Chain A
């Protein structure tokens, strides 16, 4: 029976995929949860305004970049795939920032 996950289109392409170390992955995880708590505290506080919204947005973009770089293992790649997540974060991130700035 065919593997329901891998279709075998390019099975061989990830043979040399590097692996993040356990300690580094754990460190990234702790950092991500800590930054999430910062965002939550900002949300719970009565404070609001553009600077805080931008701070929360920057934290979110940074966290997403960490997931892309280290959990998805894109950081060590060569070529266009290295920048897929960064490009995705740049476009919607910029549009969100512009919309909040103008509102």
Chain B
């Protein structure tokens, strides 16, 4: 069954330990059949994943017809910015995990701090990606420049809007946490926002190599 103290780790516990201890430290056994958070957000997540999956497959199959063009213009993208953005989203996701752990131990203040840290990382993503977009637009690049840029701009902007929406959700949760709106016994809202945010991160983990690296 669920151990409410599992998220706190044990003092002196080795990070690796025996394989069984490692697995138990990772995720305790559960009989739960449902994911964390509100079911409505998971229906939304499924729909979003389907759309992004279709987008990714379309990119890959369209590339088949224009390999040279895709390879040529992929080199114009800033991979270092993409690296910074990937690390920013991973860090943000990790901070959200810590926020969920904090609220499950009834530490509202700590939960709130982790959430603001996650939002700061999301803001970094927005700033870096916004700079990239500004650079492209200043160079006269738009959706009709060529097929590669059509996919690149629409895919990354679509994801960009999801990051913005995720920031709004995390901010709403952080503000409610500040007012003491969540506790160890009632934290569905935190888990709901966390699930959405991890989806946004997960989609970027595929988008980054597909658009910026694979050739």
Tell me the total A-B contact number using a CB cutoff of 8 A: 240
B80 / chain A contacts, CB cutoff of 8 Å: 40
Docked pose: A17 CA to B176 CA in angstroms: 21
- Binary per-residue interface labels of chain B (24-45) against chain A in the complex, 1 for a CB within 8 Å, 0 otherwise: 0111111111111111101000
CB <8 Å contact, B29 and A103: no
Chain B count of residues within 8 A CB distance of the other chain = 84
Identify whether the interface residues of B are mostly helix, strand, loop, or mixed: helix
Docked pose: A63 CA to B187 CA in angstroms: 27
Docked pose: A67 CA to B93 CA in angstroms: 9
Measured as residues with beta carbon below 8 angstroms from the partner, the interface class of chain A is 35 or more
Q: How far is the CB of A93 from chain B (nearest CB, A)?
A: 8
The segment from B58-66, B133-141, B150-158 that touches chain A is B58-66
Q: A: which residues have CB within 8 A of B?
A: 3-11, 13-14, 16-27, 29, 32-33, 36-37, 39-40, 42-44, 48, 53, 56-57, 59-61, 63-64, 67-79, 81, 84-85, 88-89, 91-93, 95-96, 98-100, 102-103
Q: B: which residues have CB within 8 A of A?
A: 1-4, 6-9, 13, 15, 22, 25-40, 42, 46, 49-50, 52-54, 56-57, 60-61, 63-64, 67, 71, 79-80, 82-83, 86-87, 90-91, 93-94, 96-98, 100-101, 104, 169, 172-173, 176, 181, 188-195, 198-199, 201-202, 205-206, 208-210, 212-215
